[in-house]
Structure 1
Amino acid sequence: MAAKNTKSTKKKGEDGDPLAEYRRKRDAGKTPEPVPADEDALPRGENDTFVIQEHHARSLHWDLRLERDGVLVSWAVPKGIPPSPKVNHLAVHTEDHPLEYATFEGDIPRGEYGAGTMTIWDRGRYETEKWSEREVMIVLHGSRVSGKYVLFRTRGKNWMIHRMDPPADPDAEPLPERLRPMRAAEGRRLPRDQSAHGFEFAWGGRRLLAYISGGRTRFTDGRAGEVGGPAGLGSKLGEALGARPALLDGELAQVEGRETYLIFDLLHLDGHPLLDLPYEERRGRLDELELSGPRWQTTPWFPGDGDAVRQAARDQGLPGMLAKRLDSPYTPGEENDAWRYIPVK
């Protein structure tokens, strides 16, 4: 291991207290966060503890905290810790936190600094290879993140974080830039072999694919053109998946008088395309994500029960239904009889 540079990036307040800024921003009577009374209350460690906290504040981000000289030196990372050396992520240097913060999870009340939900995303031990005012090189040993990283200062409080090791998952692929959705062929009758199909409602909405990465979402339409989603939908949907990259297929439709994104397929997850998997398996993985919120819902599907779905669609005043072969892969941009749209009126 390289010799350690013991110079710290943290700066003490005018009174010599490294947590002066932290205390100034928080009211111990209102927030559940740990607020030590004074510097003497700080426990002393071995400068080897790290924690990454997922912070659902005004905007979702991840807080990387490294134990150093009796405090947690902290960076806010808007898009999370990069899993590959091919991309660097912004890391904003924030105030030092007390060591007790390494175990904190909870809800910071509205109106307080950093209001929102804080959960521990990963934690473990780390080794220091270099530590200076402008560069911090470390090796993380966590349950979710392991490997060599460097944080380097670019301007003011803005730093970047770069993975120096090979990708954590060498087979991972980035989300596609744009994908044309698979289209259903139109028919008038239910398939004869209903047991080989899954059935869904057709909602009569606008087709949208949602590309989610680092807690952020972008949308493309049925022609793969970039479009803006309804205000607030993209950020909240992104927060629901957190650090997990995913590509969803769905439609934007009116449900009980509210515009809702109805999700019916999962095309990419955690760095792996799912297009070649059978429809039944993709739907199973989508259901496991439990995506349900005020502006988005995972739609129901019903294996082998087409007659009941057709009658339910009529009863609800929906325009149609879809019959999808359980073994069908997803063929982008194609109209395929493996998916059949059946009007019900």
Structure 2
Amino acid sequence: MAGKQQERVIVEGHELTLTNLGKIIYPETGTTKAEVLEYYAAVAPFLIPAAANRPVTRKRWVNGVGTAEHPGQVFFQKNLEDSAPKWIPRATIHHSDHTNDYPMVNNLATLTWMAQIASLEIHVPQWQVDAAGNPLRPDRFVLDLDPGPGAGLPECVEVAKLARSILQDMGMDPVPVTSGSKGIHLYTGLDGTLKSEQVSAFAHELARALESDHPGLVVSDMKKSLRNGKVLVDWSQNSGNKTTIVPYSLRGKAHPTVAAPRTWRELDSPTLDHLDYTAVMERVRTGKDHFASISERHLPPHGEDTDDGEAASGGSRGRAVTVESRLAKYVGMRDPDKTPEPFPSSSAAASAAPTATSSEQPKPGDPPPPGGIFVIQEHHARRYHLDLRLEHNGVLASWALPRGVPETPERNNLAVHTEDHPMEYATFAGIIPKGEYGAGTMTIWDRGEFTCEKWRDGKEVIATLTGEPGGGLGGTKRLALINTGDRWLIHLMKEQPGARRSAPAKEPQPAAAPAARQPIRDYAPMLATSGTTADLSGDHWLYELKWDGIRAVITGTEGKIRLMSRNGNDLTATYPELTDRACWPEGDFVADGEIVALGKGSRPDFGRLQLRMNLAKAAEIERARASVPVQLMLFDLMYDDGTDLSGLPFVERREKLEAFAGRLKAGCPLHLSAVLDHDVEDLMSSAAELGLEGVMAKKADSRYAVGRRSRAWIKLKLEQSQEVVVGGWRPGAGARSGTFGALLLGIPDGDQLHYVGRVGTGFKDWQLRDIIEKLESREASDSPFADIPREDAAGAHWVSPDLVAEVTFGNWTGPGRLRHPVWRGWRPDKSPSDISQPN
């Protein structure tokens, strides 16, 4: 897209013409319209839930945002222009003296249209509309922490923590968003029972309380003269007539900053700053949405009655919640012409009996709800998960289970409450097309009937589910769904129907005779499989940080330590600081680990490690050893003192490794890689904040699969990377004259090399000359690629396709090309035959 000025695209079945793609929107950073479109496409799965069913007010910069000294002209738009596509979702809102048709960002096509016309900032109210366009009561509460002159983000963080403490005491758990402008927005979800006036009054009182307790830090009055050195707690954005920039929206500032959801741990960082669009794109690639607890809150049923009997939409009193209104969100998120998913017929919905309002709770002595049918569907979407659906009031109440159904009562799994589904969905299995909401394959994992012990809407469900013979549930399970305030959890109850008593303890067996000493075998390293946290359901997993270095198998015999790479290359001479026999325990052993070089902040730096690779001369190795020392992180033990350990479960090998590591000599660059007992999502967040590569997940009962790739070890990377073969280069120009401009990359496909793109960024200056010397010595007369485009082949130099490297990248394009690859370095530990095709 970036190389074109105009392109016709189909987005979710809607045709759009994207124009002036090379136009500079942010002059100070050179950010183009194509990059703005790419950003909004990347964050769409996160921004759309935060904006869905909310009338949008837009700020447009048709001629770009300008610079800090000369800002561009901005147009503030509420009403949807006549030229807007007819398929854009819209809400007609009647104001006191006029009526506006507002667009709603309910799909990627609308978001793309807005980016195309330079509507950079998207602002929404704290309330949604129902299917008829009637405003509902607020489902969000927001405080805008705005620093005055002499104050900044540190002061905003301090106020945010003070506000959080008060809100938590009230059972609310706020989410911070660095606004991308000056301050912080603090969001909390609401249950939809209060009017905007009531929410505003509460926010005003909270602001006054903070000002009263901390007069030197907080001000609640809007007067600018009172704000020097203080933080304004702007409570007014809870007014029904006010809007706030939606999380993940770009800002029309000189730099392309973003209203970015953050963690409270991030707010503790002394280097906290606003994030630009490139940083947010990297964050969303992890799949972690820090705003999910707010944007994924269950949409209150349209027209839901409230405690005072007045409908939340402002309509007539006593309006009942119908099946049709409960399914409005489901219908609004899908196009019946594009997806095979079932749609409720309007006649069936209209004729359904009115149901009790969701605010109605069982009274003492009332019988429990009877239950109904259930289905659990296996959803191979952007991230694999299960979807649990329970019949309730004429619809299927639904939860997504990213980690599946828990197998033991000791561990609760996350459950994300999603929109109600029609009853017809209980039998649905099929493929939701790419580009549609929930795109991917849907199959039935299990289904059957359930009996209900308790159903408190928005709070708690306890039910016993009986699945089909051979179903994934494994028979009958008693489960609880619990809303903890910021998220739902699914819990396997300790008391299960028909549970068997524990089997009697076995009689002690006589001790076995000592095993004969086993010889050391060839322990080629066990290989992990790339995956996501969705792949970790249903088993006991242990976690380690992923070390960004070179894999090594360490063999110790009497008087000698040998290091071997994963492809069988001898590394012993290259890393002499790791082969001092006195550093290691006595006796024969074989261990597995990672060689790393530490950079800034004592973090593994793969680029720095490149300085130690491929050195052969003793003098070069000694010089490099002095300037770039390395460390070895041990994470497995396959053989120890005459015993083959590879057949033991990982937890047992780990115990033996810890005992082995306890005998390492102090002061040597040898370390034990820690096993971390934390929630994997928290570990991934911590790894991201520390600048690490990711997390390794290992099944507790997994054996060491010598020389084989296994799904018992899962690599959870924070960014996408790909091993590639270098097949050529294009000459450089300007500062790169005499070296190269870009390397041409491929992936082996049978006997051919499939072209996947070129990389021209990420190189250190010292690498340019080293790389060109390496390539010139391998120059070949013919292209090794089977399918390189003519424009990329023009003027290229070809090389023998035997050098493996690694790049990071954004995503894969349609023709199988890497989008925005960045050089990471050579992989001398791997050969072309080791490279796997992308999924």
Q: TM-score, normalised to structure 1's length?
A: 0.51
2:456 to 124, 129, 132: 132
The answer to whether the 8 A contact 1:47-1:69 is kept is no
Contact 2:390 2:397 in 1 (8 A): yes
Q: Deviations over 1:209-242 (max 9, x none)?
A: 56998613868872424799xxxxx99xx9xxxx
State the match for 1:263 in structure 2.
709
Q: Secondary structure at the match of 1:247?
A: coil
Structure 1 CA distance for aligned equivalents of residues 519 and 391 of structure 2: 53
Larger Rg, first or second structure (1 or 2): 2
RMSD: 4.4
Match of 2:329 among 1, 21, 43: 21
In structure 2, the CA distance between the partners of 1:81 and 1:251, relative to structure 1 (3 Å rule), is same
**Which residue identity lines up with residue 472 of structure 2 in the other structure?**
R
Q: In proportion to residue count, which structure has more strand?
A: 1
Report the CA distance shift for 1:10/1:99 in structure 2 as closer, same or farther (over 3 A): farther
CA pair 49-249 structure 1, distance change in 2 beyond 3 A: same
Match of residue 407, structure 2, among 70, 75, 83: 83
Local SS of the residue matching 2:702 = strand
In 1, Cα distance between equivalents of 2:711 and 2:490: 33
Q: Deviations over 1:283-319 (max 9, x none)?
A: xxxxxxxxxxx99xxxxxxxxxxxxxxxxxxxxxxxx
Q: Is the 8 A contact 1:50 1:126 kept in 2?
A: yes
Q: C-alpha distance in 2, partners of 1:184/1:99?
A: 61
Provide the residue aligned with 2:527 in structure 1. Answer: 208
Q: CA deviation at 1:149?
A: 1.1
The Cα of 1:263 is off from its aligned counterpart by 3.0
1:274 maps to none
Q: Secondary structure at the match of 1:100?
A: helix
Q: Would the alpha carbon gap of residues 47 and 210 (structure 1) be closer, same or farther in structure 2, given more than 3 Å must change?
A: same
Question: What amino acid sits opposite 1:141 in the alignment?
Answer: T
**Residue 249 (structure 1) shift:** 4.4
2:338 maps to: 30
C-alpha distance after superposition, 1:234-270 (max 9, x if no partner)? 99xx9xxxxx997364578xxxxxxxxx437989xxx
| Aligned-partner Cα distance in 2 for 1:121–1:245 | 25
In the TM superposition, what is the alpha-carbon distance from 1:36 to its structure 2 partner? 1.5
AA of the residue aligned to 2:463: I
For the structure 1 residues 127 and 264, does the alpha-carbon distance in structure 2 shift closer, same or farther, using more than 3 Å as the test?
Answer: closer
2:693 is aligned with 1:247: no
Output aligned runs, 1:47-66, within 5 Å. 47-66=371-390
More helix by share: 2
C-alpha separation in 2, matches of 1:138 and 1:116:
29
CA gap 1:71/1:26 in 2 versus in 1, 3 angstroms: same
Q: 1:248 to 1:57 in 2, by over 3 A?
A: farther
Does the CA contact (< 8 Å) of 1:248 and 1:263 recur in 2? no
Match of 2:494 among 157, 160, 165: 165
Is residue 2:420 matched to residue 1:96?
Answer: yes
CA deviation after TM superposition for structure 1 residue 38, in Å: 2.1
Counterpart of 1:151, as a letter, is: L
SS in 1 for 2:302: coil
CA apart distance, 1:48: 1.0
Question: How far apart, in 1, do the equivalents of 2:329 and 2:710 lie?
Answer: 47
Q: Deviations over 1:162-220 (max 9, x none)?
A: 1113588989xxxxxxxxxx99525xxxxxxxxxxxxxxx9x7x533569986138688
Q: Percent identity?
A: 41
Find out whether 1:144 has 2:472 as its counterpart.
yes
Hey, what's the Cα distance between the residues in 2 that align with 1:209 and 1:121? 27
- Residues 1-345 of structure 1 mapped to structure 2, 5 A cutoff: 11-14=300-303, 16=321, 17-38=325-346, 40-41=348-349, 47-133=371-457, 134-142=459-467, 143-145=471-473, 146-156=476-486, 158-165=487-494, 185=521, 206-208=525-527, 215-216=535-536, 222-223=592-593, 224=635, 225=673, 247=702, 249-250=704-705, 262-263=708-709
Deviations 1:103-133 (A, max 9, x none): 1111111111011111111111100000002
Whole-angstrom distance in 1 between the partners of 2:403 and 2:701: 14
Amino acid at match of 1:56: H
Q: Is the 8 A contact 2:528 2:712 kept in 1?
A: no
3-state SS of 1:155 partner: coil
Which residue matches 2:310? none
Q: What CA distance in whole angstroms lies between the structure 2 residues aligned with 1:211 and 1:135? A: 36
Work out the CA distance in 2 between the residues paired with 1:13 and 1:130. 24
CA distance in 2, matches of 1:135, 1:265: 35
Q: Distance in 1 between matches of 2:371 and 2:443?
A: 22
Cα drift, residue 70 of structure 1: 0.8
Structure-2 change in CA distance of 1:95 and 1:245 (3 Å):
farther
Residues 263/128 of structure 1: CA separation in 2 closer, same or farther (3 Å cut): same
Pair 1:130–1:265, CA change in 2 (3 A):
closer
Equivalent-residue separation in structure 2 for 1:77 and 1:96 (angstroms)? 15
* Distance (Å, rounded) in 1 between the aligned partners of 2:346 and 2:700: 41
For residue 54 of structure 1, report the CA deviation from its aligned partner.
Answer: 0.9
Secondary structure, aligned partner of 2:521: strand
- Cα pair distance change 1:38/1:144, threshold 3 Å: same
TM-superposed CA distance for 1:12, in Å, is: 2.1
3-state DSSP class of the match of 1:23?
helix
- 1:257 counterpart residue number: none
Task: Give me the whole-angstrom Cα distance separating, in 2, the residues matched to 1:207 and 1:47.
Answer: 48
CA distance in 2, matches of 1:183, 1:128: 59
Comparing 138-147 with 161-170, which one deviates more in the overlay?
161-170
Structure 2: runs of 5 or more not aligned: 1-297, 304-312, 314-320, 354-369, 504-517, 552-591, 594-634, 636-672, 676-683, 685-693, 714-746, 749-839
Q: Aligned equivalents of 2:409 and 2:440: distance in 1?
A: 31
Deviation at 1:35, TM superposition (A): 1.2
1:21-48 Cα shifts (integer Å, max 9, x gaps): 000000000001001232624889x741
Deviation at 1:91, TM superposition (A): 0.4
Q: CA–CA distance in 1 between the matches of 2:466 and 2:408?
A: 16
Task: Report the TM-score when normalising by structure 2.
Answer: 0.22
